[in-house]
Amino acid sequence: MLNEKTVGEIVKEAARKFPDIEAYVYPEHGIRKTYKEFDKETDELAKAFIGMGIQKGEHVAIWSDNKREWLLSQFATGKMGAVLVTVNTNYQEKELEYLLQQSDATTLILCESFKGTSYLDIVLAICPEIIHSEKGNILSEKFPHFKRVIVMTDNEYKGMYSWAELLSHADKVSDDTLENALKSLHNEEVINIQYTSGTTGFPKGVMLSHKNVVNNGQLVGDYIYLTEEDRLCIPVPFFHCFGCVMGTIASVTHGTTMVIIEQFNPGKVLQIVQDEKCTALHGVPTMFIAELNHPDFKQFKLSTLRTGIMAGSICPIEVMKKVITDMGASEITIAYGQTESSPVITQTKTDDPIEKRVSSVGKPHPAVEVKIIDPLTGEDTPTGVPGELCTRGYLVMKGYYKNEQATRSAIDPNGWLHTGDIAVVDEEGYIDITGRIKDMVIRGGENIYPKEVEEFLYQHPKVQDVQVVGVPDPKYGEELMAWVILKSGEHITSDELKEYCKGKISYHKIPKYIEFIESYPMTASGKIQKFLLREMSKEKAKV
């Protein structure tokens, strides 16, 4: 049976069932709140959003690491109906500008800075009108929908609301008004837009409904047997589905305590799992690798750890085994999916045989259909024969925001979402992901589409042509290699080209390797043979 509740209603239900259980803990700040308190806090914030003039269906972008304000905003918007637009913390000017324009965001909630990058400087660079605007009434030709900026601080900035100023608007709104807003929401309505890179090089806004994310969180939690006695450590970023569906929503649907880490640090994770007696831990493979290889790993007492999820990129078998044996997470599971599927399609079970738990991505969740087809004919492939994995059911996104063409390319007329991933199913129904039809590169859990990086590098005045491919990497799973043809008579070093990228595109999209070449391997019909470039890249990178 699917869960029919909205994102706001699952908080209310948790507060009724588990009022005195800790909802969330921020160990770094000594903050602890019960589900009863969490419900009250998110009510107040929802009223503040309404009092500020934010309407149901308005797009509210949020840009920060895993701060408490992010968590509260997710569930407060879930109560009053604004659509939360999640922003990658690595974004720079061009990427933020594109997202604010494409998403029609009216509001941006942000922290002051992240890892030495001033978010305030970036916002003012793309929208200088903010400084001269009345708070809540930004007038910008470039961003016609954009009205307000809210900063996660009590510091004052011209043209922007402080967090305290935001909260002061709650007094204007009655409890009845909020209750009516909550009751007006339907679980089929969009509540979240997450941007994922597309093959065109421009990110696409994946529209997810209450039904999408509540049920996916519910099922993910069911698979690892979460209860109100569990404490889930969440070091994965909230702006990904891993953090805000498999982390926060999975916890709230089960009355589980969220133990939240603002920014991943392996030593910090181990310390907090020990001190907070966490029973579950989420992470992409690179996170688990960093934790296992921490110099003081053996000093930490992780005896409470039982389960968790490894996902985000292909999970190395040896790493999975070490998480089970050395960390003691004997019930760790692997999940597979993508943002467009809310995100999890398949997951291993805690009692699956060890071989299956380390070498497959499990079986489809309940209420989820999966088929593997020949990408050329569309016919189902036999057992053991690779093909494209397609999925259908409650989990399929509503579509890409303002991009009908891309939506039709992803979801066929029969409702099947075509993942672009190559998969194979065995006799027992376990699925293994063997590759990708598209050229997508997954670096440490971050999806990178080479075309986006290519289009950026094309802008350099000395570059004539560029092709980007992935190469295997022991730490991140994959790294980028760019093959560059320079314009006649030009010269530039790989370091200079990397320097050109810094501050303009996200650091994880900057190629680790840059090689210069006179011409590309081509087919007779003039198409570049990327598979040969990949082979050449492996040789060059000595992988």
Indicate the pTM of the whole model. Answer: 0.84
Cα–Cα dist 339/325, whole Å = 31
Q: Where in the chain is the domain with CATH 3.40.50.12780?
A: 9-15+32-207
pLDDT of residue 314: 67
- Three-state DSSP at 364 gives strand
Nearest to 14 by CA among 370, 180, 258, 197: 258
Q: For 437-458, how does the pLDDT look when each residue is reduced to its tens digit (9 = 90+)?
A: 767 788 898 867 677 788 789 8
pLDDT of residue 440: 73
Per-residue pLDDT of the chain (543 residues; tens, 9 = 90+): 899 999 999 999 999 999 999 999 999 999 999 999 999 999 999 999 999 999 999 999 999 999 999 999 999 999 999 999 999 998 999 999 999 999 999 999 999 999 999 999 999 999 999 999 999 999 999 999 999 999 999 999 999 999 999 999 999 999 999 999 999 999 999 999 999 864 345 789 999 999 999 999 999 999 999 999 999 999 999 999 999 999 999 999 999 999 999 999 999 999 999 999 999 999 988 789 889 989 999 999 999 999 999 997 667 677 888 999 999 999 999 999 999 999 999 999 999 998 898 889 999 999 999 999 988 789 999 999 888 999 999 999 999 999 999 999 999 999 999 999 888 999 999 998 876 676 778 889 886 767 778 878 988 999 988 889 999 999 999 999 999 999 889 999 999 999 999 999 999 999 999 999 998 886 443 457 777 898 899 988 875
CATH tag, 441-541: 3.30.300.30
Q: Where in the chain is the domain with CATH 3.30.300.30?
A: 441-541
In the block, which residue shows the tokens 């929802």? 46
Cα–Cα dist 50/52, whole Å = 5
Phi (first) and psi of residue 313, to 5 degrees: -165, 175
Q: What is the domain class of 9-15+32-207 according to CATH?
A: alpha beta
CA 80 vs. chain centroid, Å, equals: 23
Residue burial 467-500, b: 16+ Cβ < 10 Å; e: rest = bbbbbebeebbbbbbbbbebeeeeebeeeebeeb
> 486: which strand partners?
463
Cα–Cα dist 362/346, whole Å = 6
Q: What angle do CA 172, 176, 177 make, to 5 degrees?
A: 55
> 157: which strand partners?
160
User: Which H or E run contains 31?
Assistant: strand 31-34
- Three-state DSSP at 329 gives coil
Nearest to 269 by CA among 245, 235, 295: 235
